[in-house]
Amino acid sequence: MIILNIKGGLGNQMFQYACGRALSLRNNDKLSLVWSEYQGDTARKFSLKNFAIKAEVIEPDVVPKFPKLLARLKQKLTKNFYVGFDSSILKKHGQTVYLDGYFQSEKYFQDYADEIRQDFSLVAPFEGKTAEIANTIKSELNAVSLHVRRGDYVTHPDFGGIVTQEYYERAIQHIRESVPSAKFYVFSDDIDWCRSELPLGSDATFVSNPEFKDYEEMILMSLSHHHIIANSSFSWWGAWLGNNPNKIVIAPSKWSNLHENWYKDIIPSTWIRL
């Protein structure tokens, strides 16, 4: 059995699941997800429930019923904390494994990419406005998703100041030189900044809407043929889930101010770093 602790936001949860799911497929073993709504003082949503995942889920209201049992399991089972890639994870088998980490590298699950993409299909299909936008993006042969994360990242000591306006200008220019008649679909928590600061003109559609769920926007992002991402697991997954075999993905050359070594394997080798 593989017991995987799920934590963090949507993108982080997806990295964790993908690693655990790949290990379960490799070993033909059962995958169980442990989830707690409150992680420290922060309330989190179990975002994976919106996808067609293949795992047993221990819900928040069940966890308090056996805290002592779970504590004993954690003491007995193999437990490690990972952010970057560690090849020893791929070799774990023949035992009950408890995993607690972030596992932010495609190398953990690249051998099962088709299965992972299938697992991350939506349980409920798009409806209404999201369905309209999805159809528009899919019909555009030169669709390019562009993700800008501002909010907490603007002054964040670890992730702030990395993906600058200059980065987006260079990325947009690279796409325009490589993709004739590129059409940009912009996803951001600060659409007003994107409208005023990015050199997009009439080539852009600003997609993000308070009415849309985060997982809906991620899947909309994935429908584009090419991608410009931020140093964010959210847009990482929006790009990775895209099934265009010839996709261009532009990512920042740096991911973190304080722990860059942790993220040295986060960008797939086929992506372009600027």
Which tens digit of pLDDT belongs to each residue from 209-227? 999 999 999 999 999 999 9
Strand ranges in the chain using DSSP code E only, listed in sequence order: 2-6, 31-35, 38-39, 42-43, 56-58, 78-80, 97-99, 143-148, 183-188, 204-206, 226-228, 249-251, 272-273
Q: How many CB atoms lie within 10 A of CB 126?
A: 17
Is 207:123 a contact under the CB 8 Å cutoff?
no
pLDDT for 272? 98
pLDDT for 274? 97
Nearest Cα residue to 140 out of 82, 84, 182, 199:
182
Is 233:214 a contact under the CB 8 Å cutoff?
no
pTM of the model: 0.91
Helix (H) or strand (E) holding 241: none
Query: What is the CA 253 to chain-centroid distance, rounded?
Result: 18
Residue with tokens 């994107």: 194
Residue range 175-186: average pLDDT?
A: 96
Distances (CA, A) of 221 to 27, 142, 206, 228: 32, 13, 12, 10
Q: What is the pLDDT of residues 162-173, one digit of tens each?
A: 999 999 999 999
Residue with tokens 């994360």: 149
Give percent above pLDDT 90 in the chain.
69
pLDDT for 233? 97
Mean pLDDT of the chain: 89
Residues whose CB falls within 8 Å of the CB of residue 28, separated by 6 or more in sequence, listed in order: none
Which residue segments constitute the domains of the chain, with CATH numbers given?
A: 2-119 (no CATH), 128-273 (3.40.50)
Q: What is the DSSP letter of 5?
A: E
**CA-based R_g, the chain, Å:** 19
Q: What is the pLDDT of residues 18-74, one digit of tens each?
A: 999 999 999 999 999 988 765 555 667 899 999 999 999 876 566 555 555 455 445
